């Protein structure tokens, strides 16, 4: 169920970004923020102040970080469209600065505009998200990028998450034959597993190998195991790395060796 509420977190994010809206639709299921781990694209990003540098700090690996990193696995054409639109916007700004993740200036102004890449834009998205969650003010260009592109990307990914949660059939107590029918018909299934002593719920879409992991209302991630296909052998290999799946029938179907 979704609630039409404007949470304090969203109020804070809106204030930082200078955005005012009437309401947000947010789910009772929220992403669990964790420390930032990596960059989604290459090692370049666009900033609009020369003293801005990318620093990995704080619990900034949350819903938007997952959207930046994984949405394109599900809808690459839509992500590319958003990235190309963002590139067009950045080219319209007076003096974008292309920097390395280490902080050195690669190019600025027109030279930077000629070298813009989708991966650099992905890192820029992640940089803006980090600034928001670390209570740092956005400059006007970053506010515009958030309003025009990041909010839309986040909404698209969140809709995908909610589709997984609402469409999945729970297989607790089901036998192997019944589970196999669901998988063969490409139905999303939900099941329990234990990872490093933590009981989680997993939702698998066998048509894409998309996998959502959650614990209660805390969502950890949604991504594709097989990035370009639907090889269920890769799903079995993934879970065999340390997830103890509860349903023995599913373990047999996917050949999970745990």
Q: Which two tokens stand for residue 180?
A: 């196999």
Q: DSSP characters for 144-210?
A: HHIIIIIHHHHHHHHHHHHHHHHHPEE-TT--HHHHHHHHHTT--EEEEEEETTEEEEEEEETTTTE
Report the pLDDT value the prediction gives residue 165, as an integer from 0 to 100: 97
Mean pLDDT by 10 residues, the chain (258 residues): 34 32 33 46 85 64 77 96 97 96 93 96 92 92 96 94 97 97 98 95 98 94 95 97 96 94
Alpha-helical (H) ranges within the chain are 8-17, 63-74, 76-92, 109-114, 118-133, 140-145, 151-167, 176-184, 232-239, 248-254
pLDDT for the residue 64: 83
**Tens digits of residue pLDDT in 112-156:** 999 999 999 999 999 999 899 889 999 999 999 999 999 999 999
Quickly tell me which residue has 């894409």 as its tokens. 208
Among candidate residues 182, 220, 185, the one with its CA nearest the CA of residue 201: 220
What pLDDT score does 42 carry?
58
Write the pLDDT tens digit of every residue in 200-230: 999 999 999 999 999 999 999 999 999 989 9
Q: What pLDDT is attached to residue 24?
A: 23
């Amino acid at each position: 169920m979704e609630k039409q509420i404007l949470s304090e977190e969203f109020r804070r994010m809106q204030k930082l970004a200078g955005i005012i809206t009437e309401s947000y639709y947010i789910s009772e299921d929220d992403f669990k923020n964790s420390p930032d781990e990596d960059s989604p694209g290459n090692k370049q990003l666009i900033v609009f102040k020369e003293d801005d540098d990318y620093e990995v700090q704080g619990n900034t690996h949350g819903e938007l970080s997952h959207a930046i990193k994984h949405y394109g696995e599900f809808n690459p054409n839509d992500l590319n469209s958003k990235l190309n639109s963002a590139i067009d916007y950045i080219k319209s700004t007076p003096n974008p600065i292309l920097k390395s993740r280490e902080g050195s200036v690669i190019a600025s102004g027109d030279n930077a505009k000629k070298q813009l890449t989708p991966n650099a834009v992905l890192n820029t998205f992640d940089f803006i998200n980090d600034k928001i969650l670390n209570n740092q003010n956005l400059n006007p260009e970053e506010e515009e990028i958030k309003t025009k592109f990041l909010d839309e990307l986040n909404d698209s990914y969140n809709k995908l998450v909610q589709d997984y949660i609402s469409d999945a059939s729970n297989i607790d107590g089901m036998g192997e034959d019944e589970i196999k029918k669901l998988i063969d018909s490409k139905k999303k299934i939900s099941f329990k597993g234990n990872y490093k002593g933590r009981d989680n719920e997993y939702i698998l879409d066998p048509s894409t190998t998309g996998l959502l992991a959650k614990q209660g209302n805390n969502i950890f991630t949604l991504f594709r195991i097989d990035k370009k296909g639907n090889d269920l052998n890769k799903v079995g290999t993934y879970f065999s790395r340390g997830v103890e799946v509860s349903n023995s029938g599913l373990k047999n179907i996917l050949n999970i060796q745990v």
